[in-house]
Amino acid sequence: MKKETLLEIILGTTGGLIFAIGMCMCLIPEWNLFKTGVVVAILGFIILLCIIPVYRSNHPKKEHAPINWGIVFTWFIGVSGALVMGFGMSKVMVGDSSKTDLLIGIITGIVGLLICVFNYPIYSYIKSNKD
């Protein structure tokens, strides 16, 4: 492993954790740390932005290949599944949720998870039909 790759991993992990902690500080009202959380989240985002010059200096530009619509479709399915699963999780975690909200959240979360799980077989099917 090159030291530049290790630097990208360290910056990504550190920046992601600091950004996540800052967002938690902002979004958990019991902590009463909104302003501090904004500063910490911005610091984490700046660390994440430091990956860009490191990446560009070590990876040369490539010629653009034609668009692989199978990968675009796979990304669309993956993002959609993650959003559906996140919606279900948020329905479950609402403070004073009723039993119907809990049930809807669990079912929606499972559906989103299944969408994410079946994403790779769908991509494999699209790729095998394209070749």
Residue 57, pLDDT score: 84
Contact partners, residue 41, CB within 8 Å, separation at least 6: 18, 19, 22, 23, 25, 26
Positions in the chain whose pLDDT score sits under 70: 1, 95-96, 131
Instruction: Dig out the tokens for 42 from the structure.
Output: 């911005």
What's the CA gap between 109 and 85, in Å, rounded?
Answer: 4
Q: Which two tokens stand for residue 114?
A: 């299944």
Q: What pLDDT is recorded for position 90? A: 87
What local confidence, expressed as pLDDT, does residue 54 receive? 87
For residue 115 the two structure tokens come to 């969408």
Prediction pTM value? 0.57
